Chains A and B, each alone.
Chain A
Amino acid sequence: MTVYSFSSAIAFIICLTLSAFVFFKRRESAQNRFFVFVTLLIGIWCLFPVVTHTITDQASALFWGRVIYLFALVVPAVFLNFILIAIGLNNEKVQRRIVKLAYILFFLFSIVSFNPLFINNIKHMREYAVVVPGPLYHLFVLFFGIMCLYAFYNLIMQYRLAEHSSKNRLRYLLVGFVIAYIGGILHFIPAYIGVEPIPHDILLVMYTLIIFYAIVRHNLMDIEVVIKKTLIFSVFFIVTFGVFVIVTLLTQQITDGKLLGLALSSMIIIITARPIENLLVRLTDKYLFQKKYDYQHVIEIFLDDVITEMNLNKIISRTLELFDKTLRPVNPLIFVRNGVKDRLVAHSSAGEVINVIATMDSPLVEYLKRHKNIVSIEEKTAGDPDTAVVEEMKKNNAILAIPLMTRDDFIGFMLLGKKKSDMAYSTVDMSILNDLARTEAIALKNAEYIDELNALYAEKLQAKVKTELAAMADGMSHQFNNRFMVIAMALGYARNALTKISEGFSDAEKEKVNSCIESVSRAEKSAVTGGEIARGLLNFSRPDKVGFKMVNVAETVDQALQMVEYKHPDFSRLEKIKTIQPGIPLTWANLTYIQEMYFIVFDNAYDAIQSKLLDDPDFKGKIDVSVACEDDKKTVSITVKDNGIGMTSDILEKVKEAIPYVTTKVSSGKSGYGAGVHILKRLVEFHKGRIDYETLYGEGTAVKISMPVCDEPQSA
């Protein structure tokens, strides 16, 4: 066997194994089927030097040469077809016609392929054999050149339009086939010049290696999970076959003993086979699959760690950190329910909550819930996502969406942009992401459960604290009022005593005593007022004690204004306009909650005015409160307008949503609508009411609370 035959045999074996594994792994894809077909045809074509040189009989060599050429004839048509499928142009009318023409020409050439007009003869040289072309052979070479160049033209045009990982894949495809094409052209050269300059089939080995690399690193053909075995088998075969041929030939030349050569090479193969295989496994793991093992190691540590983490925000921030360390995607986002039932809140790097919200009925969420699998807008898969899903992902710069689910419970999802390295997400990545998502979902679910337990515990604790506070308030109220009562009684008694004593006094003495009586009287009134203030303040400390009753919501406005004044003494300096429509009906409500609602609204109005004062110290703050009946006295509405800093549209949206813990501070950093707004919403909803906001940044805000007028329920 010559070096020409040897390189051809290796190229055949590699092409055969590559096509076989692609076929058996994913033959349902048209692209893969055509890749298998074209690689197999190229491989068979590679057998030409082996067959024609090995068979010394001229007629037989010519016959088998023509048989091999029968396979070569279809290469241009199949190659063009494959490229058009790979770049997605196979359904265009013009392209379909060109492909059809190529198959017709193949058919015509195949009819004449056993005629001397095509291959006249096979000429045996020392190390190889060459074709003696007939006139039609030149036409075939022309046909081969034009079809392949046309395929490359389309491939290059598409390559220029492609982006990110698609571009990478096309690049490898392009380079691989250019090499294969050069190999094909070199095959024709000996027919014209009579000699073969280099064993050109070695280029076909390069072609397959490039495609191998593209499969492993760039997810080409999506079969990398079996590549390891394919590559090991191919290289193992080449090495052992090479050792066998070289040792046998050398031994035969040195010793002139055929059996000795065979025995020696067989012995070497038997001794070295196992170590070579082990070496290949190690090398493949080290150089091709290191990434996978690196990932596995990092992910294993992460999964062990995250599954025991009970804090939802920590789980999210650590997952995002993991992405930064491993896959390094652009703009990774994790959407979770975050305590809100009908929407998902996005977390970006470092676990920060950002202003991105997905609703539970969005196309992407619906799609993920239905398919329960990773969605890629770069990979064509069965049940491809529709345009709305793709648009939603593109809006967030994502190319991958990974659902976070435990059985049928949808916890959230992760969005990953393209990798910063510009490499494609491989099947290994997808497999790892799937594992990660499953564990992440369980961890998040646990954290949610713990959060709920904590919330329940906090609620109970709060209730306990409230009860204790209420008991304390009761005691304090009793003590305060008794003290004030004693003072009032003592002063009252003293006043009366002085009045009686002064009855016999002169006018001048009476005037002095009256002055004392007047002072005592003022002190007496202050004692009574002090008792009323203490009672008002203490009512705030025992909210649930009062409970529901028929309330005049208009009357509580004053109490709430007074309370804000206690909190902010300079609140009294603000201009307050109060308009209360006469005849506001009583409504069944929780007095303390109503007071708290007003308190929050006035407190926010005060903050908004303070924010504006920071910019303009001469600014005159004003609060306009109006209480009115609407809807034929079925609704009471309370509107509080301030001329404070107002809200930007972003803040207004958050305030409307009343999302807890979202920072919504405006320019001053003092005015905020965080927990207060959340409590306000809950209190209003508790009374089956609604809140409407009107605001203009820099101009002020109007908050309107509308509550239905309810009668006292008839209890048993």
Chain B
Amino acid sequence: MEKILIVDDERDITQYCEMYLKQQGYDVKGAVNSEQAFAALETFNPDILILDINLREKYTGFDVLKKALQLNPQAKAVMLTGYGEDILLNDSLRQGARQAIVKPITVEKLLEVIKSL
């Protein structure tokens, strides 16, 4: 069973994603800040990461991505942003993410992206 870590400062997003993806048969863990995310990287060791870029704190989704790839270079990441700026999306791909998506998206779209990784 693939393990997915969802990191978003919006608790509802992590919660609904977690619930939905569990329904789809994934082992899912949610984190609402970088501290929880870094801890989860150590303890949970996810295969897939769904990371919001802007966590509205000291660290960004890029920092979590960097750490995740250090710990597990095989980890696959999807970056999410509410800004919709090309530059952020391009940066995501440059920093090792497999996909970058602009919010909002449907759960099916999210699942489709995860499956395509």
Contact = CB atoms under 8 A, between A and B. Distances in A.
A and B form one complex: yes
A619 B76 CA distance: 60
A482 B56 CA distance: 13
Top 10 nearest A-B pairs (CB, nearest first) are A492-B107, A481-B82, A489-B16, A484-B104, A485-B104, A478-B82, A481-B103, A531-B104, A485-B103, A486-B12
A489 B84 contact: no
Given A486-B16, A524-B106, A528-B104, A546 B86 contact: yes
Nearest to A535: B84
B43 interface: no
B19 interface: yes
Given A485-B10, A486-B10, A492 B108 contact: yes
Contacts of B13: 482, 485-486, 489
A492 B16 contact: yes
A546 B10 CA distance: 26
Interface stretch (A160-168, A493-501, A651-659): A493-501
Contact of A496 (B20, B54, B103): B20
Contact of A545 (B10, B82, B85, B105): B85
B58 to A, nearest CB: 17
8 contacts: A478-B54, A484-B104, A485-B105, A486-B13, A492-B107, A493-B20, A525-B106, A528-B104
Given A478-B54, A531-B103, A535-B102, A489 B17 contact: yes
A637 B85 CA distance: 27
A545 B105 CA distance: 24
Interface residues of A, number: 31
A481 B16 contact: no
A429 interface: no
Nearest to A547: B87
Main secondary structure of the interface of B (DSSP, over half): mixed
A549 B86 contact: yes
Main secondary structure of the interface of A (DSSP, over half): helix
B23 interface: yes
Contact of A489 (B82, B86, B102, B107): B107
B86 A527 contact: no
B72 to A, nearest CB: 26
A474 B103 contact: no
A239 B88 CA distance: 100
B8 to A, nearest CB: 8
Interface in A477-518: 477-482, 484-490, 492-493, 495-497, 500
B92 to A, nearest CB: 16
B59 interface: no
Interface string B71-114: 00000000010111110000000000000001111111000000
B102 to A, nearest CB: 7
Size class of the contact patch on chain B: 20 to 34
Contacts of B103: 481-482, 484-485, 531
A586 to B, nearest CB: 14
Contacts of B106: 488, 492, 524-525, 528
Interface of B: 10, 12-13, 16-17, 19-20, 23, 54, 80, 82-86, 102-108
B20 to A, nearest CB: 5
A545 B87 CA distance: 10
A488 B108 contact: no
Contacts of B12: 486, 489-490
Contacts of B83: 474, 477-478, 481
Nearest to A549: B86
Interface in A190-215: none
Given A485-B10, A528-B105, 14 more contacts: A478-B54, A478-B82, A478-B83, A481-B103, A486-B10, A487-B104, A488-B106, A492-B107, A495-B107, A496-B23, A528-B106, A530-B104, A535-B84, A535-B102
Q: Of A484, A488, A497, A531, which is in contact with the most chain B CB atoms at under 10 Å from its CB?
A: A488
A477 to B, nearest CB: 5
Interface in A678-713: none
Nearest to B108: A492
A527 B104 contact: yes
Interface string A463-485: 00000000000100111111011
Contacts of A482: 10, 13, 82, 103
Contacts of A525: 106
Contacts of B80: 485
B14 to A, nearest CB: 9
Nearest to B16: A489
A492 B20 contact: yes
A372 to B, nearest CB: 56
B82 A477 contact: yes
B83 to A, nearest CB: 5
B7 to A, nearest CB: 13
Contacts of A535: 84, 102
A527 B12 CA distance: 15
Q: Of B80, B103, B105, B106, which is in contact with the most chain A CB atoms at under 10 Å from its CB?
A: B103
Nearest to A478: B82
A488 B23 CA distance: 16
A474 B87 CA distance: 13
A632 B83 CA distance: 38
Contacts of B108: 492
Contacts of B85: 545-546
B10 A477 contact: no
A477 B104 CA distance: 11
A701 to B, nearest CB: 35
Given A527-B104, A528-B105, A546-B86, A489 B20 contact: yes
